[in-house]
Each structure stands twice: as C-alpha cells, then as structure tokens.
C-alpha cells in the first residue's frame, strides 16, 4: 500500500469505533509521519502500517488490517510493526529509571527541540504514569 493510497489507508481502520478513527481523520499531520490525502474530497487520514485499539477490556486488531494482511500475505504482528511499537514499553525487559532510558541508545526517544530536555520529558512521563 502506497503513501498516497487514501482508500487503502481508510480501509485499514475498518471496524474501529468511529470516535477513535476521528482521532486520526482530518487532523494535522504529526512531524515524523504524515497524512494520506483523498485528492477528490480533500479529506485526510493518518498513514498507518498497523491499526490496533483498546475496547476498555482488551486490545483488538482492526478487521481492516487483518483483511489487508490476508490479501497480501503479511504477518499482522510483524508486518504491521506492532512489535516495534511495543518495544518502548520494554515488555519482558528490566524496568529502567528515566536516566537509564535517556542514556540507552536503543530507546529511540524522539523529543522535539521545542519540548526541551530529553531527560525532563522522560521524567515527566514516568511521573504521569506511576
């Protein structure tokens, strides 16, 4: 699926509740990744390689993503980069201090210049979720 395939991107979100899809449809693009634009309507949707959502009780894989994987022969967990997305949460790994996270070259924390100090940003995340 190409970066300019609006219909294909929209289809990945099939069966995800509309209130969640609204969070990625017709929104400003974030900095590292972009939106796919429907040239006919001007609508946009966030480009995704995998679509997963939480229903309040369990995580779900979007039916649209599973359909795409069936059609293309892609493994939904590997081809969607699901494993990559979870890596930052360190499941099955030792818990770290904010200082260790920032010092770890494999942690890939992307802090924008306007956000300030990396360590302060990671410390704030730890404080928010602890």
Same domain, 52 and 103: no
Same domain, 16 and 69: yes
pLDDT tens digits, 89-118: 655 566 677 777 777 766 665 555 555 577
C-beta of residue 69 within 8 angstroms of C-beta of residue 61 = no
Number of domains the chain contains? 2
* pTM, to two decimals: 0.62
pLDDT tens digits, 61-95: 899 999 999 999 988 877 777 777 666 665 556 66
Tell me what pLDDT residue 67 has: 94
- Domain of 68 in residue numbering reads as 6-77
Same domain, 50 and 103: no
Q: Is residue 56 part of a domain?
A: yes
Radius of gyration (Cα) for the chain, nearest Å? Answer: 17
Q: Is residue 65 part of a domain?
A: yes
Q: Is residue 72 part of a domain?
A: yes
């Amino acid at each position: 699926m190409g970066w300019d395939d609006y219909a294909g991107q929209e289809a990945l979100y099939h069966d995800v509740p509309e209130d969640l899809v609204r969070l990625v449809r017709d929104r400003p693009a974030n900095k590292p990744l972009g939106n796919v634009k429907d040239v006919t309507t001007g609508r946009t949707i966030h480009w995704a390689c995998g679509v997963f959502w939480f229903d309040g009780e369990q995580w779900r894989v979007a039916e649209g993503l599973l359909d795409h994987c069936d059609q293309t022969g892609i493994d939904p967990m590997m081809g969607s980069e699901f494993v990559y997305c979870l890596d930052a949460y360190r499941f099955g790994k030792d818990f770290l201090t904010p200082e260790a996270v920032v010092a770890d070259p494999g942690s890939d924390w992307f802090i924008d210049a306007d956000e300030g100090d990396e360590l302060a940003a990671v410390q704030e995340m730890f404080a928010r979720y602890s």
